[in-house]
Amino acid sequence: MQNRHLWKSWRTLACVFAFSIWQSAFGQLTLKSDDTVQVRLEGFGAIQAGQIVQGHYASQTAGTGVQLQHLWLEKGFVNLTADVTYYNHLRVLLGVEGKVWRDEAYSNYQEMWEVPEKMYSFYIPQAECRYKLDDMGPLSLQLNGGIFPYKYNPDVRNLGEYLFRTGTYPGWIINEFDKPYATLTGLRANATLWGTFSNDILLTTETDIRPIYDFSLSYIGKCLLFNVLELGWGIDFANLISVNENETSPHIPNNIDAINGADTVYYSFAGVKPMVRLSFDPKPLLPFANIFGKEDLRIYGEAAVLGLQSYKILYTDMGQRTPVMIGFNIPAFKIFDVLSLQTEWYDSPYPNSYTGIADGGPPIPDPIPNDIMNSDPNTYKKDSWKWSLYAKKTIAGHFSIIGQMARDHIFTEQSFSDTRDRQETLIKNADWWWVLKLAYNL
């Protein structure tokens, strides 16, 4: 029975991938096109492989954790998205994506005597409806809702995008290779004036990490000045509307911060996260700018506070809750689409982990694993710098080659809850990984 299900999964992946190749070879498929309705199919197929040169794996099964050395990783993806436009104002996008991968880190913990289990995942990366009003002079309005990818910092290739890829208390950060954005569920309203001053208001619900289903309210703005400087700002009222107050602010003994007379202060997942960013592109000021690629020479940065409120026992120092990223696009002279170098400073003394949260715990940091504590109790106090080098090259408009070397906030991917790693993989200063991806985009 299991083999039959696996065969069906493989057959589905093969059919979607073959259709994607056919569509790319003969042009984008338009199912219907007239003055009222346009229907197009888009998508991609990709394979990626790389290696965790040195890292760490921790789970309930592995106990305190094990060291990873030269761990090989592979994944395959297919994506198919239907894009329907009605009267040039209403647009519906519905996609399905498949992934093939293996439980590499868990098998490494088992000393590799067990063959890594091949896993298949199918999910919906996008299911949204957009309504746009663009005939209002200098002002354009757009409303959209559903499941949608959201990226507010166009320069970020890996590190950054802090508002929607972080927690507040505790302040965890998550990165995923070649996915420098968040997938949100909720509503978004955008107003853009003169094409340069943009404002977004979002009401989103949490679907991945506790407290599940809480609603957050966010505002993000940006402005382009003189075609060389872009300023961005935003604020996220995380878990502002609680669907279960006992989940958002548990009133339990091990979640007490202070007792002031008759008042007891409890830690809460709810918090305010402000963000600022800037990007400077000097090419319009240079007389020989045509020798550079579109993304070359850009200098950019982003900073956020993962929770404005300070407590008395934990989360006392706002500086320890403030990640700062600086990036520079190295001149590639049109050899690459982009060659991005990023660094990050995040001085949190706690593990970048949400293990306790996922297991039903309160909003307090996870303890340092025993194996790390025994080898060097100051590991997390020294673990403040991250870095990433990312390169991308597009060939003939459809093929992409993407590579990255990094010491970032990745998490190993496992299939079952007792083997899942909810602490970042690259803990120590010597930890790093590399990955290469080949993609065929429609």
**Per-residue pLDDT averaged across 300-322, rounded?**
97
3-class secondary-structure state, position 102: strand
Position 136 scores a pLDDT of 78
pLDDT at res. 6 = 41
- CA dihedral of residues 208, 97, 426, 112 (deg, nearest 10): 110
Average pLDDT over residues 374-387: 74
Q: Report which residue type is found at 415.
A: S
Residue 4 banded pLDDT, cuts 50, 70, 90: very low
Give the pLDDT score at 65: 65
Give the pTM: 0.89
Write down the pLDDT at residue 241.
97
pLDDT digits (tens, 9 = 90+) for 319-329: 999 999 999 99
Residue 367: pLDDT band (50, 70, 90) is: confident
At 213 the pLDDT is 96
pLDDT, average across residues 303-308? 98
Q: What's the pLDDT score for residue 410?
A: 95
Q: Work out the pLDDT band at 375, boundaries 50, 70, 90.
A: low
Predicted confidence at residue 288, as pLDDT, reads: 92
The domain made up of 2-441 has a fold known as Porin (2.40.160)
* pLDDT value at residue 211: 95
Contact assessment for residue 164 and residue 156, using Cβ atoms and an 8 Å cutoff: no
The pLDDT of residue 84: 94
- Whole-angstrom distance, CA of residue 439 vs CA of residue 442: 10
pLDDT higher than threshold 70 for residue 157:
yes
pLDDT at 388 over 90: yes
The phi and psi torsions of 289 (rounded to 5 degrees) equal -65, -20
> Confidence class of residue 280 from pLDDT cuts 50, 70 and 90?
very high
Q: Which of 264, 268, 271, 377 is nearest to 321 (CA)?
A: 271
Domain boundaries, given as residue ranges, for the chain: 2-441
Q: How far apart are CA 343 and CA 434, in angstroms?
A: 16
Q: What percent of the chain has pLDDT over 90?
A: 69
Q: Is the pLDDT of residue 371 over 50?
A: yes
pLDDT in tens, 109-133: 554 445 667 888 899 999 999 999 8
State yes or no: pLDDT of 59 exceeds 70. no
Structure tokens at 277: 């960013």
Q: Which pairing describes strands 229-241 and 215-225: parallel, antiparallel, or unpaired?
A: antiparallel
Cross-strand bridge partners of residue 130: 91, 144
Q: How far apart, in whole angstroms, are the C-alpha atoms of residue 410 and residue 180?
A: 12
| Res 16: pLDDT | 46
Question: Mean pLDDT, to the nearest integer, of 202-213?
Answer: 95
Positive or negative, the Cα torsion across 94, 84, 149, 81? positive
143-153 CB burial, b ≥16 within 10 A, e <16: ebbbbbebebb
